[in-house]
Amino acid sequence: MRYHAYRNRCEHKGQGLDPMPGEDKIQCCSVGKATYDYEGKIMAGPADGAVAAYRVDMNEGKLVVTIVP
């Protein structure tokens, strides 16, 4: 199983992001439906750019998310 972590703020209207069941995408719940791939890159919609995607590792059975400014 792979885990993904993002800054939970769409670059379009600042709304939260939601996974799209059965697809390798996340989408903003705003009117524009900005859609991003699992790397955080914009795929469709009105957003101006990518969302911050963070590194996720497993360490001694715990998920560790690395946030680099």
pTM of the predicted model as reported, rounded to 2 decimal places: 0.82
Domain ranges of the chain: 5-66
**CA atoms lying within 13 Å on the CB side of residue 16:** 3
Q: How far is CA 9 from CA 12, 60, 65, in A?
A: 9, 29, 17
Predicted confidence at residue 31, as pLDDT, reads: 72
Place 13 in a pLDDT band, splitting at 50, 70 and 90.
Answer: confident
- The CA distance from 18 to 29, in Å, is 7
pLDDT in tens, 17-60: 999 999 999 998 767 889 999 999 999 999 889 999 999 999 99
5-66 CATH: 2.102.10.10
